[in-house]
Structure 1
Amino acid sequence: MKVASLSNPVMSDWLADQGLRLDASPYIAGSLEAKKMLERLPDTVPLASVTSGHNGGIFNGPMFRRVYLTDPEHSVPFLGTKDMMAADLTGLPRLRKSDATSAALSYLQVKPGMTLISCSGFNAGRRAYVRPDMGDCWSSQDTLKVEPNPEKIKSGYLYAFLLSRFGESLVRGSVYGSAVKHIEPHHIAGLPVPRFDEGLEERIHQMVERSAWLRARYQAGLVAATKDFFSSVGLSELNDIRWHQERDLGFEVSSVGPISLRALNFAPRARRLVERLDSVPGAKLGDICSSGQLSRGIRFKRTDSDPEHGVQLVGQRQAFWLRPEGRWLRASTTPAEVFARDETILVAAQGTLGENEVYCRPILVTGSWLQYAYSEHFLRVVSGDPEIPGAYLFAFFRSEVAFRLLRSLSTGGKQQDIHEGLRAEIPVPLAPPADRARIAQTVRYAYQCRDRADVLEDKALALLTAAIEEAAG
């Protein structure tokens, strides 16, 4: 249960400011407190006065029938409220291009520099910045687009304010609804945006822009590493597999052992991929990890804690976001086994077979992400061979080929898991040592870019927060 702070009690005039809303959210979530603090600043302007574009620059879109395709020539990447938080945009669903470019939906194409705000669902109010590599994406009607007017405000500065604790309080305080949360454009049009001297706003803007560029560089680096992986082992045709162009309508299996009787585990399309991987020099995944780890994480008792004395636990969904929002657990009672060693690959190992689910998608734990704890729902892949680094393996695991192979090894009922025996038999092609080192370095540099992007974003937020607090006295 949330209660109002005794140092900042809810005042009767706040009710009038909020249109006599009687739900507790805007009064105890910090929205009114932030607004009152911003009122003490010498210069603030309404959000709608610094935006431009469709509907004045703050808009979502109509509900429409979504038709998804897989052919890149006839589709465009499509961002939902969860997808806009993703670090790696490779696996985005794709909307039919003829629909996306129609007069009814063409304005839903996002532009670099926009701020995206999730406006429907349980997690309404999340914000994301449109990076340089997202300009060919469309967004759903469940996402508010805030398009800054470049003649009035810098895009990076506006995003930094909306992302800050002040912007978060104001945006989340605008949320309406009970079971299904919702925000409409007019709910945030009047949010007070603080203005400072041009030099300060430019510094904050440049930090955010540099951060966005580094995240785009991270994405490009991972894509390049995977392409280099298959080219280096002589399987460049696997860089562009068209999984859905064929179907496994019916097939025979000559011999079935005691390991599995499930047809999915013997699907011809997956078997053909295994044959191609086996046709070049390589090793079985189980052998590579024999002195490392190839198993699920441990279960443990979870004791909640505050961030000051805790460690953040990252689950399957948040692991794929730019910044995780995991639960905080008491550090003293969290076992060491839930942390990951450097260059551990974590594969989401429980879930359903929906095309856009994270089940069987991987992340690499390195850099700043070594501080987090990870739930037992991940398959941990740790190389035991120093000649086969985890960064090299990750270039393979993030590919469409590895994703489809892992999915074909599913076992279970409603909640799928990756078959313990079959996963060890996955063939991993091994490039010459020099190529392995180059591919691994490409992946490592990509993650260094990502960590640097986070640092710059944090610096921008700290600079803005300090300026607001100082101006408010």
Structure 2
Amino acid sequence: MKLIDMQNPVRAVWLADQGFRLDPSPYLSGAFEARKLLERLPRTEPLISLTTGHSGGIYNGPKFRRNYVSDPEHGVPFLGSTDMMEADFSTLPLLSKNDAESMKLSHLRVEPDMTLISCSGTVGRMCYARSDMKGIWASQDILKVVADRAKILPGYLFAFIYSKYGIPIVTGQASGSMIRHLEPGHIADLPVPRLGDEVETRIHDLIQEAADLRGRFQIGVGAATKDLFVSADLSDLLDFSWYKEPRSIGAATWGVDSKSLRALNYDSRATKLRRQIESVPHRTLGEVCKAGELRRGNRFTRVAAEEGHGYRLMGQEQLFWLRPEDKWIALPSAKASELRARAETIFVAARGLLTDRALIGRAAFLPESWRERYVFSEDLLRVTSGDPDFPGAYLFAYLRSEVSFRIMRSLCAGTGPQDINSVLRLRVPVPECTPADRHRIAETVRQAYRDRDEADALEDRALALLDEAVREEAR
């Protein structure tokens, strides 16, 4: 049951604005409540007066045919409205550079400090563009808001639009019945509260520091993977491209047994990768995880629960997001304990179809702040090292690589949604490196995730400060 905020109760003037309707829906939508509270502030300014740039600083893009390429030399990373929610942008598809840099699409380039808003389908998801996103192109389904720094700080503007005051108003302006859309004109008059230079600067600084830490996170996990391949004398695999390898139209293989008769599991490209890793000191994934975990989660019945009542469920898609949207389910406490994860667990998406952008085979590391916060879906392969000299953070630096992703994908089994073969995954080779190398690489990953956790905390502080300031001004 949704209740009104007792700090901002329904007032008589609200009833008059709604023709004295007494049913609760207009007053619980969030957008009406937010607008009414903002009307009580001494000073607000329309969003369009605070932006600058292409089309006044609030714009998306034209519809266009997406021509993807496989060679980074001829493409630019391309961000969809769901992709922008991810924590790690290293797996983005590549849009043709010729198309991206054309007059028609050049304005879709992302620049640091932009506010990005999903504007088609699921409207209102948001992202603050950080420095490592420069050079990424965004789809026409992402609305860009460019702050005029002479009038407002971009971090503060993002914090307001992303807050519990901005989001309901933005989503409430969407139109359409089947597929919802948000156009620049829909939010041009969004009332932005002005809270004074001191407060706005503090909020901006927190958001900017969070963005910088997330940029360091991206650099950190990439550096750990590079360090691992260089240390293992596998530098030539750093720029490995699956699509540059000859396709397996026909190939002979030996050692086939009853564990698998599927041709995919003997793909010559994946076999070549495994043999290259086996040419250096290595261990198998089964050996590393013998005293840990290498299994899918237990199945369970999902019963939806109200927010705050039950447990937050983490599924395959949102596992890779920077700030997952909470999905609450009801569970017995004993079952919830089974579905939690150990420290330094790696999750590999283990269910799905083998389309190019499907998640199956991708790996994610468990941030420390998520251990007690979430229970995890049975669709995830849990990978936990059982050897203290072979840390989970080191193992993740390998499993997040394109090499590991392609090997994992080659092990799929099933006819509809695929799974990762429970026997073949034990045989996946993992470069061993020296103990000193493993420790250094693991610490790089851990520091990256500490930066990520700190960024989340700073963003939460910024939103709390904004909320407190708005309520103080509205009294």
TM-score, L = length of structure 2: 0.94
1:306, distance to aligned residue in structure 2 (A) = 3.7
Change (3 A) 1:3 1:209: closer
Alignment of 1:212-251 (within 5 A): 212-246=211-245, 247-251=247-251
1:282, distance to aligned residue in structure 2 (A) = 1.2
1:348 alignment counterpart: 349
Q: Distance in 2 between matches of 1:215 and 1:26?
A: 38
How many residues were matched structurally? 465
Q: What's the secondary structure of 2:427's corresponding residue?
A: coil
The reply to whether residue 470 of structure 1 matches residue 469 of structure 2 is: no
1:307, distance to aligned residue in structure 2 (A) = 3.8
2:81 alignment counterpart: 81
Change (3 A) 1:252 1:238: same
Q: Distance in 1 between matches of 2:472 and 2:332?
A: 37
Change (3 A) 1:390 1:376: same
Match of 2:17 among 9, 13, 16: 13
Q: Distance in 2 between matches of 1:296 and 1:42?
A: 55
Q: Distance in 1 between matches of 2:388 and 2:306?
A: 38
- The one-letter code sitting in structure 2 at the alignment partner of 1:29 is S
After superposing the two structures, state which structure 1 stretch, 435-444 or 367-376, moved more: 367-376
1:90, distance to aligned residue in structure 2 (A) = 0.5
1:19 alignment counterpart: none
Using the aligned pairs only, state the percent identity.
52
The CA deviation string for residues 221-246 of structure 1, in whole angstroms up to 9 with x for no partner, is: 00000000011111111111021012
Q: What's the secondary structure of 1:308's corresponding residue?
A: coil
Which blocks of at least 5 consecutive residues in structure 2 are unaligned?
A: none
Q: What's the secondary structure of 2:17's corresponding residue?
A: helix
Q: Is the CA contact (8 Å cut-off) linking 1:318 and 1:326 kept in structure 2?
A: no
2:146 alignment counterpart: 147
Q: Distance in 1 between matches of 2:141 and 2:464?
A: 29
1:161 alignment counterpart: 160
The reply to whether residue 367 of structure 1 matches residue 368 of structure 2 is: yes
Q: What's the secondary structure of 2:464's corresponding residue?
A: helix
TM-score, L = length of structure 1: 0.95
The CA deviation string for residues 111-130 of structure 1, in whole angstroms up to 9 with x for no partner, is: 10000000001x21111100
- The one-letter code sitting in structure 1 at the alignment partner of 2:446 is R
Q: Distance in 1 between matches of 2:113 and 2:291?
A: 46
- The one-letter code sitting in structure 2 at the alignment partner of 1:125 is G
Q: Distance in 2 between matches of 1:179 and 1:297?
A: 35
Q: Distance in 1 between matches of 2:390 and 2:457?
A: 30
Cα RMSD (Å) of the superposition?
A: 1.9
- The one-letter code sitting in structure 2 at the alignment partner of 1:32 is F
Q: Is the CA contact (8 Å cut-off) linking 1:124 and 1:172 kept in structure 2?
A: yes
Change (3 A) 1:161 1:243: same
Q: What's the secondary structure of 1:324's corresponding residue?
A: coil
Change (3 A) 1:465 1:316: same
Q: Is the CA contact (8 Å cut-off) linking 1:315 and 1:326 kept in structure 2?
A: no
1:177, distance to aligned residue in structure 2 (A) = 1.6
Q: Is the CA contact (8 Å cut-off) linking 2:353 and 2:416 kept in structure 1?
A: yes
Q: Distance in 2 between matches of 1:14 and 1:70?
A: 54
Q: Distance in 2 between matches of 1:200 and 1:255?
A: 68
1:14, distance to aligned residue in structure 2 (A) = 4.5
- The one-letter code sitting in structure 2 at the alignment partner of 1:237 is D
Q: Distance in 2 between matches of 1:228 and 1:302?
A: 41
The reply to whether residue 262 of structure 1 matches residue 266 of structure 2 is: no
After superposing the two structures, state which structure 1 stretch, 252-261 or 327-336, moved more: 327-336
1:308, distance to aligned residue in structure 2 (A) = 3.3
Q: Distance in 2 between matches of 1:63 and 1:267?
A: 37
2:290 alignment counterpart: 290
Match of 1:455 among 439, 442, 457: 457
